[in-house]
Amino acid sequence: MPRIDLRDPRYYFNRELSWLKFNERVLEEAKDERNPLLERLKFLAIFSTNLDEFIMIRYAGLKEQVAAGIGRRTADGMTPDEQLQAISDHLHPVILEHQRVLCLDILPALESRGIALVPLTELSATDKLAIEQYFHQEVFPVLTPLAVDSSHPFPRLPNLSFSLLLEVFDPERSETKLAVIQVPSVLPRFFRLPGKSYRFVTLEDIIKTEVGALFPGHEVKRLHGFRITRNADIEIAEDEADDLLQVIEDEVRRRRWGDAVRLEVSAEMPKLWLQYLRNTLGLTADDVYAVPKHLSVGDFMELASLGVPELRDEPFVTRLPTEYRNESSVFDAVQKQDVFIHHPFHDFDAVLNMLEEAADDPDVLAIKQTLYRVGRHSPVVAALAKAAGNGKLVTALVELKARFDEENNIVWARELERAGVHVVYGVPGLKTHCKSLLIVRREGNEIRRYVHLGTGNYNPGTSTQYTDMALLSCDPDLTADSSELFNYLTGFSKQKSWRKLWVAPDTLRTKLVEAIDRETKQAKAGDEAHIIAKMNSLVDPEVIRALYRASRAGTKIDLVVRGICCLRPGVEGVSENIHVRSVVGRFLEHSRAFYFRHGGEENLYLGSADWMQRNLNGRIETIFPLEEPRLKKKVMQVFDLLLRDNEKARVLRSDGTYCHPKRKPGQNRLNAQDKLLEISARRLALSP
C-alpha cells in the first residue's frame, strides 16, 4: 500500500462551506414541489434562521480572527481571510435564489390557494380602514422614530433588528433629514385583513402607509428597509466568575449589541444610503446583501404555521413503546427488559411518564437529570419541582451555556431553585451536553437505579420535530456509571474509568478511535469489516484520519451525516470505501448512532456526541451501548432505511457536491422517515 499523508489538505472539506451546503439542502426542500406549500415556506424560514445563527457565530468568529491577525489554516488549508471570501462568494447568489423561490414560486402558489400577501396598491377601502385602526391602536404606541443628525448619532440598533431608514422633508426649513424606525419585533409580522380568507399585509407595509403620523409637519419622501446582524458569540471567563448565573445573564444582554457583521438592505436602497450604513457600521462590501423583496424571512414561520391542513404535512399519531404500554408502572416494565425509545415515532410521554411517576412514587428517593435545551414551557421542569416538593432529593444540572437557550435556562434554574431542587451548572470550562436521567428507588431491602440515556434534549416540543433515540434501563453497570457521571458533574470526582459508558473529554475519543482501528485490523486480517455511523456533523481530523486508515484497509464505511462533513469520500487510495449521505426531510435527523461489526460482535452505540473537536474535547458527552439483540435490530432497521432512502437522501461526492441517489429501473421511491411513520402506525394499529 503506497504511503500517503492523510493530513494533506486536499483530503478535507472546509467546515464552513460544508455547513453552507447543508443549508442549501434545506433550501432544496423549499423548492421540492412534492412537499406541501406551507411546509415549503417553513423550510425557507428555517434556511433564514439557520443562516442568521451561522453569521452571528461562525462568520463573526472568522472576522474576529482576521481583525486579530490570526492566519492559522484549517485542516483543508484555508486561512480565516480566505474562508470569509469563500463564504461571501458562495452566499450572495444563494440569497438571491432564496428570494426567487419565495417571491416567484411559493408566494404566488400560496396566493392561488387562498393565502395572499396583499400589496398596498390592491387594498380596498375596508382594508385601509382596518389597517388605519390597527396602526393607531396597536402599532403607533410602540414605535419610536429616531432622528439622525449632528445631535442624534445613528442609533445602535439591536442584533437582528429589522428597521426602516427614512428621508423626511421639513417644508418650513426646506431641508431634508434622515430618521430610523425599528419595526417592532413584539408585534406579529403579518396582519390579517378582514374577511374569511387568508389575506395579510406585512407590518412594514402598515408602517409605510401610516408613517406620516410619526412626523407631523414633515413629508416622508422615501424609506427603505435594512437589517443588522451582530456578533453574538459569548465569551465567559469561568475561572474568574464569582456567580456564573449572573455573568451569563449579563453576557446574554450584551449579545444584542455586539459589533455588526452583516447588513441586509432593500435592493432599491440608494447607493448613497447604502454607503452611509456601511461606513457607520464598519462593514465591507462583502458583508452587505441586497435583498430584492422581503427581509427577515425567518418571520415567515408565522404564515407557515397557519392551520390549513391541505397545505401541511399529514398529522401523525405517536405511541408509547410496546414494552411498557400495558404495564401499570414504568419501573415494572424496565425491570423486565431494556426499553428503546425513538422520537418522534414514540411520544415524549415515554420519558415524561417515567419522570412524573418517579415524582409521586413514595419509594423513589432521588432524581438526577441533565438539562440542556428544555423549551419555554417545560413539563420536565414541572415534574422535577413536584418531586422536590414531595421530599425527593432532586438534582438538576442546568447547562447555562447552551447557545441561544441561555435566557430560558436561567429562568428554569431559578424556578427549580425556588422549588427546592439542587441546581448545579456543570464543570468549569466544559459544556454539559450529555442527556441523562437517573432515578434511585427503594425496592424491598435493596436500592435499584433506573436510567434514561438519550441522543436528544428533554424537550417535548422538539421531540415531535427531531429524530432522537434513547434507552431506559436498570442495568447495574450503566446505572453505576450514571451515578458516577453525576458525581463527576456535581462534585470533585476525577472519574477516569467507566464500565460501559464512553465519556468525553476523558475516554470517548480514545474509545472511538480504538473502535475504528479495531475494524481496520479486522479488514487487514481479511475478515469482513463494516462501520455505520449516523450523526449531525463530522469534523474532527483525528477521527477522519482513522476512518481513512480503515477505508484503505478495506473496511466498508457507511456514514449518514446530516450537516457538516469535512471528510472527502470516494478518493482513490484513501476513501473509496467510504460512502456519505445526508438526509434532510420532514424531521430534523438528530440522533447519533454508531455500529461496528467487530468480527461479528455487532457492537452498537447511541449517544449525545457528534464527531467534532468541540464534542470530543470541550464537552461532557456520553456514548452508551445497546446490548440486547432485539433493540439492536430496531436501530439496524433505521440504518437500513436511511441507507436505502432515495427521496430525501443526498449523496456526497468527492468534489464536494451532493446529488440524489439514482434509482434503478423499476425501483420504488423510498422516504425513510415516511416509512418509519408507516411502520409506527402499523404497530399502533396492531397493539391492544
Supply the DSSP symbol for 490: H
Residue 241 burial (10 A CB sphere; 0-12, 13-18, 19+): middle
Residue 167 burial (10 A CB sphere; 0-12, 13-18, 19+): middle
Can you say how many angstroms the Cα of residue 568 is from the centroid of all Cα atoms in its chain?
A: 24
**Could you tell me which of 330, 290, 271, 282 has the C-alpha nearest to residue 156?**
282
CA 289 – CA 87 distance, rounded (Å):
13
CA 635 – CA 594 distance, rounded (Å):
10
- Which residue is catalytic, options 98, 433, 530, 590? 433
Element (H, E) at 89: helix 80-100
| Residue whose cell numbers read 437522501 | 649
CA 596 – CA 604 distance, rounded (Å):
6
CA 4 – CA 576 distance, rounded (Å):
14
C-alpha cell at 661: 441517489
Residue 229, CB half-sphere, CA atoms under 13 Å: how many? 24
Helices (H), 158-221: 203-210
**Could you tell me which of 154, 160, 163, 182 has the C-alpha nearest to residue 57?**
160
Question: Which residues are registered as beta bridge partners of 592?
Answer: 607
Contact assessment for residue 519 and residue 549, using Cβ atoms and an 8 Å cutoff: no
Element (H, E) at 223: strand 219-230
Dihedral sign computed on CA atoms, order 304, 307, 311, 316: positive
Judge if the upstream peptide bond of residue 344 is cis by omega within 30 degrees of 0: yes
| Residue whose cell numbers read 399529514 | 314
Longest CA span, the chain: 91
3 state SS of 529: coil
Supply the DSSP symbol for 231: -
Catalytic: 98? no
**Could you tell me which of 291, 296, 265 has the C-alpha nearest to residue 280?**
265
Residue 248 burial (10 A CB sphere; 0-12, 13-18, 19+): buried
CA 345 – CA 678 distance, rounded (Å):
10
Residue 96 burial (10 A CB sphere; 0-12, 13-18, 19+): middle
CA distances from 107 to 5, 111, 127, 163 (A): 51, 6, 20, 23
CA 381 – CA 546 distance, rounded (Å):
41
**Beta-carbon neighbour count of residue 320 at 10 Å?**
20
Judge if the upstream peptide bond of residue 505 is cis by omega within 30 degrees of 0: yes
CA 556 – CA 568 distance, rounded (Å):
15
Give every CB contact of residue 164 below 8 A, 6+ residues apart in sequence. 180, 181, 182, 183, 204, 207, 208, 211, 223, 224, 225, 226
CA 465 – CA 587 distance, rounded (Å):
5
CA 552 – CA 29 distance, rounded (Å):
35
Active-site residue list: 433
